[in-house]
C-alpha cells in the first residue's frame, strides 16, 4: 500500500496561492493521485485527479513530477471559504487495491 | 436531490447494542464503500462493494457486516457496539470498479457509543 505523507496544517492569507504537497514514495504503477476537500460536518468532495505531469481544472491545479513520488495541489487566490481539510488519495485501477487516504492538511485562510 | 444519502445523521447508543446505518445513492454508480473517520480525521476504508458483491474487506472486526440489497444501497450493521466504534462513518460511491473514478461521499453518520 502507498504510504502517504502531507503537512498537518497550513495557514494562508486571502488572495494568495496555496501549494500543498503530498509524498507517496511507494506509489504503484497503476495508481492515480486524487485530492479531496472536506468541510466540517460534510463528506469529502472531489477536487482534482491526475496520473502524471500537470492537470488543471476550474478549481485547482495538480503537479506531478516524472517520478510520481510526490504531488502538489495548487489553489490559486484562496478565499475564506477555502478553509477546509485537504486529503491526498492514492489508488489504483484494480478493484482489489484499497484506496489509501493521507491524514489530511488543515488549511486555514485568514482575512 | 442528494446524490449519496445516509441515515441517521447522528446515532447515540450504549455499549453492547446493535445498530444499522443506511446508505443510498442515486447516481447509478456500480461501486459503493464504507469509510470510517476517527477523531483525528483519519479516513480509512472499511468495505467496498461492486454490483452487490464484496470486493474489499479491510481489517475490521466481524461485528461489522455490510449488506447490499441492490447496487444503489449499502447498509452497515454493527453488532455489540464498543466505545472504540465511536467515529463518523461515511458512505461513498463511484462509477465502475476502477479506483480512478472519483468518490462521491455522503455527509456522514456520527456514531457515539456511551
**A65 or A98, greater pLDDT:** A65
A94 has a pLDDT exceeding 60: no
The confidence score (pLDDT) of residue B93 equals 93
> What are the grid coordinates assigned to A1, written together?
500500500
A35/A82 Cα distance (integer angstroms): 14
Mean pLDDT of B90-107: 84
Mean pLDDT of A76-94: 87
The confidence score (pLDDT) of residue A1 equals 59
The confidence score (pLDDT) of residue B97 equals 61
The confidence score (pLDDT) of residue A93 equals 53
Residue B4 with chain A: CB contacts under 8 Å: 43
**Of the candidates A43, A98, A104, which has its C-beta nearest B105's C-beta?**
A43
Mean pLDDT of B48-76: 86
B60/B45 Cα distance (integer angstroms): 10
Q: How far is CA B101 from CA A90, B76, B113, in A?
A: 12, 23, 34
A3 has a pLDDT exceeding 90: no
Which residues are B105's β-sheet partners?
B92
The confidence score (pLDDT) of residue B57 equals 72
A57/A51 Cα distance (integer angstroms): 14
* C-beta of residue A12 within 8 angstroms of C-beta of residue A110: yes
Largest CA distance in chain A: 44
> What are the grid coordinates assigned to A35, written together?
485530492
Which residues are B100's β-sheet partners?
none
Residue A42's pLDDT band, with cuts at 50, 70 and 90, is very high
A51/A54 Cα distance (integer angstroms): 9
CB atoms near residue B65 (< 10 Å): 14
Q: Percent of chain A, pLDDT > 70?
A: 91
Instruction: Kindly determine whether residue A95 and residue B99, on different chains, have CB atoms separated by under 8 Å.
Output: yes
B99 has a pLDDT exceeding 70: no
Instruction: Kindly determine whether residue B42 and residue A45, on different chains, have CB atoms separated by under 8 Å.
Output: no
Residue B90 with chain A: CB contacts under 8 Å: 43-44
Residue A97's pLDDT band, with cuts at 50, 70 and 90, is low
Mean pLDDT of B40-57: 82
Where does residue A29 rank: exposed (0-12), middle (13-18), buried (19+ CB within 10 A)?
exposed
- First and final C-alpha spacing in chain A: 39
Structural element, H or E, at residue A77: none
A92/A45 Cα distance (integer angstroms): 19
The confidence score (pLDDT) of residue A90 equals 86
A80 has a pLDDT exceeding 70: yes
Query: Which of A49, A59, A95 best probes binding to B when mutated, by most B CB atoms within 10 angstroms?
Result: A95
Amino acid at each position: 500500500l502507498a504510504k502517504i505523507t502531507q503537512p498537518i496544517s497550513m495557514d494562508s492569507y486571502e488572495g494568495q496561492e496555496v501549494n500543498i504537497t503530498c509524498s507517496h514514495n511507494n506509489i504503484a504503477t497503476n495508481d492515480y493521485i486524487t485530492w479531496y476537500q472536506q468541510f466540517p460536518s460534510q463528506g469529502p468532495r472531489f477536487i482534482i485527479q491526475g496520473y502524471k505531469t500537470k492537470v488543471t481544472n476550474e478549481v485547482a491545479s495538480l503537479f506531478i513530477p516524472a517520478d510520481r513520488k510526490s504531488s502538489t495541489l495548487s489553489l490559486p487566490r484562496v478565499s475564506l471559504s477555502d478553509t477546509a481539510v485537504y486529503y491526498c488519495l492514492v489508488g489504483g485501477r484494480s478493484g482489489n487495491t484499497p484506496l489509501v487516504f493521507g491524514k489530511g492538511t488543515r488549511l486555514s485562510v485568514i482575512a | 436531490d442528494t446524490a449519496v444519502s445516509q441515515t441517521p445523521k447522528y446515532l447515540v447508543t450504549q455499549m453492547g447494542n446493535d445498530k444499522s446505518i443506511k446508505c443510498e445513492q442515486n447516481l447509478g454508480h456500480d461501486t459503493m464503500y464504507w469509510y470510517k473517520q476517527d477523531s483525528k480525521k483519519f479516513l480509512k476504508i472499511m468495505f467496498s462493494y461492486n454490483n452487490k458483491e464484496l470486493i474489499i474487506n479491510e481489517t475490521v472486526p466481524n461485528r461489522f457486516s455490510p449488506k447490499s440489497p441492490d447496487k444503489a444501497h449499502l447498509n452497515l450493521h454493527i453488532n455489540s457496539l464498543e466505545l472504540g466504534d465511536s467515529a463518523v462513518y461515511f458512505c461513498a460511491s463511484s462509477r465502475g470498479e476502477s479506483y480512478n473514478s472519483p468518490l462521491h461521499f455522503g455527509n456522514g453518520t456520527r456514531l457515539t457509543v456511551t
